[in-house]
Amino acid sequence: MLKTPITTIAFDADDTLWRNEDFFQTTQQSFVNLLSAYHSKEYILEHLNSVQVRNLANFGYGIKGFTLSMIETAIELTDGRISGYEIHQIIKLAKEMLSSPVDVLPGIEALLKSLKGRCQLMVITKGDLLDQEGKIARSGLSRYFDFYEVVSKKDRATYENLFQRLQISLSDVLMIGNSVRSDILPILDAGGHALHVPYHTTWSHEEVQDHELTDYPQISRVDDATQIQQWLESNIQLSE
């Protein structure tokens, strides 16, 4: 089988290099407990999700935007009766998320070590710049990457503009990530290559429906870092 020549491999960060969504779900449970006297768990989570999506255009992705959405949700669901103490509890939850250790996924560092020097390595991630820079520093992985890009969204135009600025042909790029919506479909639309590595849990806003995939050939998928390595060896031509 003819291998695809690749000069640049870009990784998503959250839930691809390290665990992330787990912390959001743990915090959401604490938030539900805080408001349990007012509404059911299901209604609180449904309303929080709708507020988060509504606020993306204003606050973007990340913990700070999530925190503002929790506060707004708490005010709306209590008709303004939420106390200053309870608002402070929400802020404390956010601070705990921001200071939590970075739990690198199994096999990721060994994978990056094996790729270093054989191609350009990148991180392309959404979120708050300060938060994401802190994660890469705490992860101990920064030494493996040639580029680290934090973007406000991941769509076709974002990828096209980013790689045009870096003077890298998209046909030479492989994007690896857990979100089909953010990491896979837009890079394929832009003319690049993609490898899907699903995480065990995904924010509903990142999920795609079957009808959204009808225009795409079979998307390559593996389950972990070991399988990423095996897939690369079978399908990708890198420098030796």
What lies within 8 Å, CB to CB, of 162 at 6+ separation is: 124, 149, 151
Do 177 and 142 share a domain, yes or no? yes
Domain boundary among 99, 120, 141: 99
pLDDT of residue 173: 97
Least confident stretch, 29-33, 56-60, 191-195, 209-213: 209-213
pLDDT confidence tier of residue 204, bands split at 50, 70 and 90 = low
pLDDT confidence tier of residue 211, bands split at 50, 70 and 90 = low
Distances (CA, A) of 174 to 47, 79, 116: 36, 48, 15
CA–CA separation, 30 and 221 (whole Å): 33
pLDDT of residue 1: 55
**Average pLDDT of span 122-145:** 93
Do 76 and 160 share a domain, yes or no? no
How many domains are there within the chain? 2
Do 93 and 108 share a domain, yes or no? no
Q: Domain of 72? A: 21-99
The answer to whether the beta carbons of residues 9 and 3 sit under 8 Å apart is no
Domain boundary among 99, 119, 153: 99
Dihedral (CA of 103, 108, 114, 119) sign:
negative
pLDDT of residue 210: 67
Do 158 and 227 share a domain, yes or no? yes
pLDDT confidence tier of residue 60, bands split at 50, 70 and 90 = confident
Q: Count the helix, strand and coil residues of the chain and give each as a percent rounded to the nearest 5.
A: 55, 15, 30
The rounded mean pLDDT for the chain is: 92
Question: pLDDT, tens digit, for every residue of 70-92?
Answer: 999 999 999 999 999 999 999 99
Residue with tokens 């998307």: 219
The answer to whether the beta carbons of residues 216 and 188 sit under 8 Å apart is yes
Q: Which amino acid is at 202?
A: T
The structure's pTM equals: 0.89
**Average pLDDT of span 1-10:** 87
Domain boundary among 82, 99, 116: 99
